[in-house]
A and B are shown apart, each in its own frame.
Chain A
């Protein structure tokens, strides 16, 4: 099975060096891209059906097609790699950056070329120190080899790439909040329109893409959109990094065809549940996705199928709930995170999430009351899409609304027995 994203990873977990990267065919995609017109690169990415790997799944080529192009277009234009991996339960971009940093850089250069960007930023989580060191070295190597800088390989195209270290807030992963953070401001989300593709960083056209998305781009240019679509088992193209954490025998991260069934990932790759524990449910793609349960285990992990099952593919890194872990406690932990990380901009989010967290904490402490269950259901509607400024709060209540559905008895027992039955 082909593994374009992780095939070059070294067993000793050190970064792939520039020489190793080039020997394995690295920077060939860039050479090919520079021989084409930018619009042709966009067309290839469109035909590949590459969708955003950060969680939202927006078609990448379509996003790029909104960027003003040609002589009349405003400059400088910007390309930003969203490396602010802060979704709890997610550990895929860190692996890509630590173990094959040149792959991200090549993906960025090709993507920047496609939209005629002048400057690229990598917006990196502050805690990702190892990624920082390895990316810094790789950027310097790429600059020394004229893969970035002025007149890249004699093509006439110029691009600089800079590393921005974030000071930490989950909301920075939201693309318009990220733009404010890069401008040195508090990271509140922005109103759309204007969309960043037209008016982003300092009012100039800007594309923000997740690390894993960018890592695919030069492979698509090098090997073609048909090859990319053929990697997948379903209609969404490519491979996907899937991860499993929680009480399974072999937690880990694997690059598998898009559309690999959930059960196969859990049982064949993660080795199934730890001895003596039973599966109760999972978050398929990080903290802000709805729980799925045993009846969904044969769902192919791609955007459409996970959505039809009632959740989202999200980041593709699953968090597993076992029968000895309290579902109410788990949801309390999730809402504690969201309440803490709310940027405070709109009232439903800062107020509703703090309220939700307090109720869940009280339930865990044996102080829940009957009316709390109705209040929690109310919060899932109060914080629904359309009522808040950005997608943060609707994402935050996804695990809550599905937990209330699938683990209703557990919530009731907490209130009826005035204790957490797991403690």
Chain B
């Protein structure tokens, strides 16, 4: 079931576009912001609300990088792997994070604390390497700093 708040946010988006179809990406992102991911159940609810088939909505969901159709951990870390971060050593950042948390990119830690995902350029190239956790940007990363950052997420 969509919550009243999710429904309210989606209804507001519906006033901003001439078709209900246009809202499907916004709607999936709204659900994801509240639940962490978009479940099959949510897809059915959105399908009813927007008048689109689940199949068509899945066609959209699978196209976009940021729509998650699988559950994630309590925190999601996006590790930039694009060119400036690569030059500045993002592979070391990635290896340290993966080793420290015991999960590979695309995986969630066994305790459900973190999901680690690669991300394309975060637009922080002058402060590379960069990563983003739950929407917060971290720049000029090194191994010591990663340790400090991790203490903020339990």
Task: Give A residues with C-beta under 8 Å from B.
Answer: 76, 85-91, 93-94, 125-130, 160, 162, 164-170, 181-187, 202, 243-247, 251-253, 283, 287, 317, 319-322, 325, 329-330, 333-334, 336-337, 340-341, 343
- What chain B residues lie within 8 Å of A93 (beta carbons)? 123
| Least CB distance, B67 to chain A, in whole angstroms | 5
Say whether B99 faces chain A, with CB atoms less than 8 Å apart: no
Contact between B63 and A186, CB atoms less than 8 A apart = yes
Q: How far is the CA of A126 from the CA of B76 in the complex (A)?
A: 14
Pick from B64, B81, B87, B125: contact of A325, CB below 8 A: B87
B83 within 8 Å of A (CB atoms): yes
- Contact-residue bracket for chain B: 35 or more
Sample of 20 more A-B contacts, CB < 8 Å, known A89-B84, A169-B65? A87-B121, A88-B84, A90-B123, A93-B123, A94-B123, A127-B132, A128-B123, A165-B26, A166-B25, A166-B66, A183-B22, A184-B24, A202-B18, A243-B125, A243-B126, A319-B87, A322-B87, A329-B86, A333-B82, A337-B121
Please name all residues of chain B whose beta carbon is closer than 8 Å to the beta carbon of A164 when the two chains form the complex: 26
Query: In whole angstroms, what is the CA distance A334 to B60 when docked?
Result: 26
Chain A residue contacts of B29, Cβ below 8 A: 126, 165, 167
Which residue numbers of B lie inside 8 Å of A, CB to CB? 16-19, 21-26, 28-29, 59-60, 63-67, 78, 81-84, 86-88, 119-128, 132, 135-137
On whether the beta carbons of B121 and A88 are closer than 8 Å, the reply is: yes
B19 and A91 contacting across the interface, CB-CB below 8 Å: no
Bound form: Cα–Cα A128–B130 in Å: 13
Docked complex Cα distance between A126 and B21 (Å):
19
Contact pick for B121, options A89, A252, A325, CB 8 Å: A89
Q: Hey, which chain A residues are within 8 Å of B123, CB to CB?
A: 85, 90-91, 93-94, 125, 127-128
> Does B82 lie within 8 Å of A89, measured CB to CB?
yes
Residues of B within 8 A of A325 (CB): 87
CB-defined contacts of A247 to chain B, threshold 8 Å: 87-88
Residue in B19, B22, B63 with the greatest tally of chain A CB atoms within 10 Å: B63
User: A129 CB to closest chain B CB, in angstroms?
Assistant: 4
Contacts of B19 in A (CB 8 A): 183-184, 202
Cα–Cα, bound, A243→B86 (Å) = 17
Closest 10 CB pairs of A and B: A167-B64, A245-B125, A168-B65, A88-B82, A251-B126, A245-B84, A168-B66, A88-B121, A91-B123, A162-B16
Q: List 8 A-B contacts (CB under 8 A).
A: A89-B121, A126-B66, A128-B123, A130-B137, A183-B22, A245-B87, A247-B88, A337-B82
Contacts of A87 in B (CB 8 A): 121
A253 interface neighbour in B16, B26, B121, B126, Cβ under 8 Å = B126
Residue numbers in B under 8 Å from A182 (CB-CB): 22
Contact A330 B83 (CB under 8 A): yes
Which chain B residue shows the least CB distance to A133?
B135
Interface centre among B23, B25, B84 (most CB of A within 10 A): B84
Given A184-B25, A246-B84, A287-B83, residue A86 in contact with residue B60 (CB < 8 A): no
Task: State whether B66 touches A170 (Cβ < 8 A).
Answer: no
Interface of A is mostly: mixed
With a cutoff of 8 Å between Cβ atoms, the chain B residues found around residue A251 in the complex are 125-128
Of A330, A333, A337, most buried by chain B (CB within 10 Å of CB) is A333
| Cross-interface CB contact of A185 among B26, B60, B66, B83, cutoff 8 Å | B60
The minimal Cβ–Cβ distance linking B16 to chain A, given in whole angstroms, is: 4
| Inter-subunit contact B87/A244 (CB<8 Å) | no
Query: Which residues in A have their C-beta under 8 angstroms from that of B17?
Result: 162, 184
Q: State whether B78 touches A127 (Cβ < 8 A).
A: yes
Residues on B with C-beta less than 8 A from A246 are 84, 87-88
User: A245 near B126 (CB under 8 angstroms)?
Assistant: yes
Complex Cα–Cα for A86 and B132 (A): 15
Complex Cα–Cα for A290 and B136 (A): 33
Q: Is the CB of A319 within 8 A of B25?
A: no
B residues less than 8 Å from A243 (CB atoms)? 125-126
- Judge whether A167 and B59 touch: CB under 8 Å: no
Closest to B60 in A: A186
CA distance A338 to B29 in the complex (A): 24
Q: Are B63 and A169 in contact (CB under 8 A)?
A: yes
Minimum CB–CB distance for A244 against chain B, Å:
7
Most buried by B among A184, A185, A343: A184
CB atoms of B59 and A244 under 8 A apart? no
Smallest CB separation, B68 vs chain A (Å): 10
Output the nearest chain B residue to A85 by Cβ-Cβ distance: B123
Is B120 touching A170 in the complex (CB atoms < 8 A)? yes
Given A88-B84, A330-B83: A184 touches B23 (CB 8 Å cut-off): yes
Q: A91-B125, A187-B63 are in contact. Are A337 and B83 (CB under 8 A)?
A: yes
Closest CB in chain B relative to A287 CB, distance in Å: 6
How far is A260 from B59 in the complex, measured between Cα atoms in Å? 46
B120: A residues at CB distance < 8 A: 86, 88, 168, 170, 337, 340-341
Which residues of chain B come closer than 8 Å to A90, judged between CB atoms? 121, 123, 125
